[in-house]
Structure 1
């Protein structure tokens, strides 16, 4: 459950990173509802590329086709019922029998290279063309062919990838061609091998070569060595059949003696007893010799250490002797010059003055040369820096070009694989479906969309007409109220004036100032009040109708939301979430208990 929760959370985070504005979380994938999933899929479908370039993460190429074919074959084999061995057909035996299963056993293969290369010798080309056996004939078992080819292909690909990585990281920085880089690397490797072999040889010589104190051991070992071309050595066939040297391993020598003894023809009892006695004596002598060799090897190591120390002390003493000899030589020369000191001092002064003059002239010459060399050095340094900057720029351009070439090659390869995949998918599609059916379906979809657009346009036009009519009626009501207001005042004043003797005056007043009459005359005032109340009631009625429509729309929206929430199965999802929460708590408690136990 915890793993499912993490995967759902990561999917929700990925959708949010893509810009999905709707509500999305782990519950969207664990307890999905149809509207949410539909909206999410529509959003993801809109995020797919709509141009000619395809998604780089889409599996394409021969591997995808091969995987689909493998999955198809596996499904076909799983769909077949299991049959007992006696009832199996040939196809069932191939799919259900275990006799065709083998281990992944790899054998080395010898494959022909690129014969068009100029670095390949003619002899090797001739061997590849005439004498190199087929791959199937190089293996002892036919079932190891696929494993060997897969292993060889994997090793070749890994070698190419390692060479490309090394060339990009170290080869380009060395500013050498690939051939020069390979030759220099080969030379370094050969030098390292030679140094290792030289060290091993010195170590072997220090540990195994006998010194002056091992001469007796060498003489004793020579007595057991059979030299070629001598007939004076007497003994049995066993002593003449095996050569014994001090460099051979005693255990190996004993095994060889035993094998030779086992391969000898049968003899009489006396010869067998003699050979057995001789074999036992030889084994005892071998054990004694092995012990002596070990002791002598230890003593040889100690002697070598002592010799090294003595040589170091001798070198130090030789250096001290050379220093003292030089000091004595100088003092002896000074003592020889003491009897004629004045003349020698004058000669020495002349030599010193000449040396000073020569030093002054050399200083002047050096200063001239130094200035010229300093100028040349600064100029060469400037040129070197410019060359380094230019070489760095060229190196960067070469790397960029190499990356572009690599990207273009990868893109071409990917497009080629995609083309092959699409061709294979096209070939696998059924050919009995005509194009007219798809065209008819497309035309029906287009006609339905056109009809829906016409309906939507008609509804919009009806809505606009209705809105215009509502606006006209509203204006008409306002204008009618104003006119009615004026008519009520006039008619009311005129009607009241007919009952008295103020006919002319009241009519004149009602025409000139009807509001004033309405304030003075009670009937007119009541009529005006009823008219205002009627207008207000009508306005309230209209507002009530509008509010009713708004409420009805809100009711419909709420009903749609209720249906949507009901489709989301919020209650059941909440129960599932609670159950999952309890399961996660149990898993956490179990993990804590395991941690405490450990």
Structure 2
């Protein structure tokens, strides 16, 4: 029973029952602990049945009786066949409580059974305690510090509060193996930047209080991106029948093409925009970086963006450039000039350059406006030219038809006959072609229908396979989660195994089990031997009893015949009858003695069972509870009388 009690106590601890380490058997369970264990098990088995029950006994005796009756009814509703009532919980005995707890532990769901297999290590208990504390804190309503009362100050922290201000963080990520030299060099540069120059995460935000908010925001963004990618791949990626890399490259190319179209549309000149030549060149360079093409290919083919901007900035008239160079040479400071004169000359130079810059910007705006007007007029003229070319081509076709008709007028009759013959030949040809088409059309239609049906079958097959792939993905995900759980359980079991003493070997347990089995076999053999000896003795007794009865009947008959004739034989007959009666009484006395001995042993076993049920202590508890109930009744009656008065 010790092993059974240990298993029950371990299972009850896993359900949340607070059992001390000193408790090693069911005999040490108190009424409060029994009620708590039963309620915890009921809540795990059937929450709707156990949530309405309190895991602690109330102080009042009447309330305790009601709690005991409710627990007994709940156990009976679950299918418990044993006797149960309020006395099972308030005046418990060891066998009844053990059978009840064994029934409840067997009724625990499979998930709880799997949880029971997990060892109750220090890390698991710490995690459970942290989760319980977080649940209790989340259940409390949050109040600002200015509205908190003395009651809430105990449950909610009154420390300094910081606003949720998140900042962009730069985190190192693992890079895949590059396939090109440039990509490999770039990967090495990035790794060197991460290793040498990238600040720690705690130092990147401007304020230290923004570190948790930034980390939470970064984690949330990564998690949402991963979820979006997973949903997109399950909904669209699988339908495309591409690998994830090919799907990403195609999506990237499509996005790049869309950006090119938007930028190309933005570079078209409009009357309402005020873009300059430099902005147009910048957009053109940007298009070239994306792989787009513009009209100025001959210009973009030479130089870089820096050379174009430099050429635009410094392309001026030669005379103005010479004057500026002379002015700059004239205002260069000499070695003997003072710093104040130098600063004054520099300010004059800066003001002159600013005026020139303003004049150039005004000129650029004017030139840009002229260019836009000319571009609009060119577009209008090109549209008008295309429209007139289209109308000219239509008129030329009409003139050509009329010209051919006029040429046929001098020989109208012959031409009509020829035209009629041509029409008839064309009609016959059309009929012939129609018949030929019908010959070809029927097998083509059949082939089309067959291919269409085949295509529909393939689509159905592909959709079925797609559903199977999704199911496989789900199974893989579930298997991965189960593998993670089992791996964590394995690590926990390894840690617990390391903490166990190593001086006890498995062979000792094996030898102990073998000894127990051998003892059980010996006991069974002895019991079988005793039963066989008892059967043989019973047969021998039955045989001797029958033989005695037959011998007595024969002797009685012979002696009775002689007793009629001889007086001494008559006395012998009387002695024989008395001897038989005394022997019968002696045998009956021996049988009664055996029966009484058996009854004595049964009574001794019942006495031991009653001692195990704590009958005396339970009677004392019942008397104390009876007195407490009488006191409660008297107090209630006194209150009723006071209320009536």
- Interval containing the TM-score (normalised by the shorter chain): 0.3 to 0.5
Normalising by structure 2, we get a TM-score of 0.42
Higher relative contact order (CA 8 A, sep 6+): 1
